[in-house]
Amino acid sequence: MVVADWSWQLLARCRGEDPELFFHRDTERGAQRRMRERKAQEICSSCEVLRECRRHSLQLKERFGVWGGLTEDQRYRALGLQRDRRGHGWSPAGSEGDQQRLR
């Protein structure tokens, strides 16, 4: 069930922040990407709607960006999925324990 009430987003700490902090450019890799993700996660860590945001991203299987303090890779693992080689698709992986741990 996807929540139709999006009002929690009005309270998000990321409002007013540069979206590029939460979403990577196509050319971003390695240390540069990890550093950007850590900065985004730092903002998320003090957000009063972190749980709602995280739940939203997992329910909708958000493919891109940092949501609820989770990077793309963390969400894939939490959902028991993995990316295809090009990073475009989803396929089963991991364990159910991984899925429960981050909710």
Query: Is 14 annotated to bind ligand?
Result: yes
Beta strands in the chain (DSSP E): 81-83, 90-92
Identify the three-state secondary structure at position 20: helix
Query: Is 25 annotated to bind ligand?
Result: no
Query: Is 81 annotated to bind ligand?
Result: no
Phi, psi of 67 (to 5 degrees): -130, 130
Per DSSP, 21 falls in state G
Query: Is 89 annotated to bind ligand?
Result: no
Q: Which residues fall in the annotated binding site?
A: 14, 44, 47, 53
Q: Which residues fall in the annotated binding site for [4Fe-4S] cluster?
A: 14, 44, 47, 53
